[in-house]
A and B are shown apart, each in its own frame.
Chain A
Amino acid sequence: MNGASAANSPASPVPLDREFLLGLYGKMVLIREFEERVKFLFLEGTMPGTIHQCQGQEATATGVCAALRADDWITSTFRGHGHALAKGLTVQEMLDELFGATTGCCKGKGGSMHMGNMAKGMVPGIAIVAGGIPLAAGMALAFKMQRTTQVVACFFGDGAVAEGAFHEGVNMAAIWDLPVIFVCENNLYGASTRIDKVMKNPRVSARAAAYGFQGETVDGNDVLAVYAAAQRAAEACRNGQGPVLLELLTYRRTGHSRRDACHYQAKDEREAWFSRDPITRFATQLLARRDITQADLDAIKARIDTQIAQSVELAKQAPQPTLADLTTDVFA
């Protein structure tokens, strides 16, 4: 299995502050429960459009965004719910957006694949594969020209690596030493196609060397390993030693999109990855500490379940746009 050795590496030690760790745990649970609830809403037919979900990949968004400052930025993709929650968008503004309401983060004009909030440091999801990679380079160019120490984390999947925009955007960031953390969430499948069919060299991080900068492969189901790698990458970027390519090995527990039942994932492969589920693993690590109990974790989940349930009810009642809203926000 590609990357199995890294994904099997022992869990990182947990030397960090209790509240911080519980915060990471809560964020991952929030993403998981949000996605599960959204899936249910789609299946029951109350939510429009399509969805691309990230159950199983919670540690990548959570670990990377935990290493960012509030004034740092991210770009995301069609699979962006986890990134948005990790960057601080609220459950309410996201559910409102998914229901197409004017109170959504994009006023009901973006939808699932284009969620963002400029006030939270997230541009709308760039839903064309690899399309956000040159944009991230440009955002980092703006930081460099404005002499700030901000960085941009650019999320994309393994499927983006074969796109021309990956090559072009990464090369631009490389030649100008731009502060971009290129975050490849390698979940082994581009839609339904396994990466060994489409990559002669399946080690995505190795591509960084071709452009002259650092790449690293990390266990993307270990939130602390992701956090540590992202911290190192952010530090390098702030010191003018960017960009950095992080390949985070992870696994998608659901289909590529709404109508994909995911039959192409082999049973033994699924089971192997499910045994390394990022939330279960992290819970085990946390419970090894004397100051964290199962009751603490249960309380977090209960709080999140209540929050999501309340937000769903509000979102279902949220105001819908009218035909007059259709033609606003087209021009400045």
Chain B
Amino acid sequence: MPEITYREAIRHALAEELERDANVVIMGEEVAQFNGAYKVTEGLLAKFGPKRIVDTPITEAGFIGTGIGASMLGLRPVMELMFWSFYSVAFDQILNNAANVRYMSGGLINCPIVIRGPANGGTNVGATHSHTPENVLANHPGVKVVVPATAYDAKGLLKSAIRDNDPVFFLENTILYGEKGEVPTAEYLIPLGLADVKRQGRDLTIVTYGRSVIHSLAAAEVLHKEHGVLVEVVDLRSIRPLDIDTVLKSVAKTHRVLIVEEQKPFASVGSQLAYMIQREAFDELDAPIHRVATVDAPAIYSPPVEVEQLPNPQRVIKAALEMLG
């Protein structure tokens, strides 16, 4: 199977869906002529032309709102946010309009928009450009939230997202764009709302998603080799819909849960997970649910400190050993 980067996987998904459905359009700041701030859309303008790959002004509320309106009347816009951090200036459009129009219309309106772009810290860009808003987004009934960790998942999930009739918010990661992974050449789709057990184990379940999956897998390897601990790593892939069944199956097997998330801890995705796990599997738990999250402060600029602010393999190993202590 060929290895391609996470970035290329997303690009291939976009190209295949543009080819497949004339209603798919890509819009965003410098997505066309400049090939995207992170070069995800490279070459698409040349192949599909300026009517399908559309440069917008720097106007997030404007172009996201435009995409929502277009999606209500049959287009399938895939909007690129240069950073998901900029969602705050389009908040009304994203969470009042996209999230609510189906419901408020009594189910008459589809809103098949995808909003995608990177949402991560770890690049020393400080507090305004390092937001991870998946918890804020997922708090709104009517939206779907996807956070892929690998090239394979990114491609299969994005293709499903584009075909979905609800708004799907697709959160990528600048640090993963260059990471390679095996991706088949034949077409495949990954349904939204299906977690993936990335590593089998029996002593401890790590529930995680996004780049924290990579950290958790690295930690699991060390925990196995140096401590003889067998860690199961469950990658949620999709925050909403949430595949709680796969999580609970793993809990029933290991009886210990560590949540690893690149999220501020207060009212995070992990907070919701911990509630659901204790509610559904209280008798399975041999220890309190534990969590490694972003340290609760605005994203710091300082490079050495930011590494410690975010989840990393060392923090995951330490937390796991505390639990197994």
Name A's B-contacting residues (CB within 8 A). Answer: 73, 75, 104-110, 114, 116-119, 123-124, 126, 128, 131, 133-143, 145-146, 164-165, 167-169, 171-172, 175, 328-332
Contacts and interface: CB of A to CB of B under 8 A. Distances in A.
Contacts of B185: none
- Tell me which of A73, A108, A171, A330 has the highest count of chain B C-beta atoms within 10 A of its own C-beta: A330
Given A124-B105, A135-B68, A165-B92, A145 B51 contact: yes
Contact of A136 (B69, B103, B107): B69
Contacts of B164: 332
Contact of B103 (A73, A109, A169): A109
A171 B63 CA distance: 10
A9 to B, nearest CB: 34
B148 interface: no
Contacts of B106: 104-110, 329
B75 A172 contact: no
Interface residues of B, number: 42
Contacts of B141: 330
Contact of A134 (B23, B61, B144): B61
B107 A138 contact: no
Interface in B31-86: 51, 56-57, 59, 61-75, 77
B1 interface: no
B62 A137 contact: yes
Contacts of B56: 172
Given A106-B105, A123-B109, A330-B141, A138 B68 contact: yes
B107 A328 contact: yes
29 contacts: A73-B73, A75-B69, A106-B104, A106-B105, A106-B108, A108-B106, A110-B106, A114-B104, A124-B104, A131-B97, A134-B61, A134-B93, A135-B65, A135-B93, A135-B97, A138-B77, A139-B72, A141-B75, A164-B61, A165-B61, A168-B63, A171-B57, A171-B62, A329-B103, A329-B106, A330-B141, A330-B142, A332-B102, A332-B164
Given A107-B107, A128-B92, A134-B64, A141 B166 contact: no
Contacts of B105: 106, 109-110, 114, 116, 118, 123-124, 329
A133 B70 contact: no
Contacts of B223: none
A243 to B, nearest CB: 13
B61 A145 contact: no
B61 A137 contact: no
Contacts of B176: none
Contact of B165 (A73, A105, A332): A332
A328 to B, nearest CB: 7
B25 interface: yes
Contacts of B166: 331-332
- Tell me which of A75, A136, A331 has the highest count of chain B C-beta atoms within 10 A of its own C-beta: A331
A109 B104 CA distance: 5
Contacts of B71: 138
A117 B101 CA distance: 11
Interface in B299-320: none
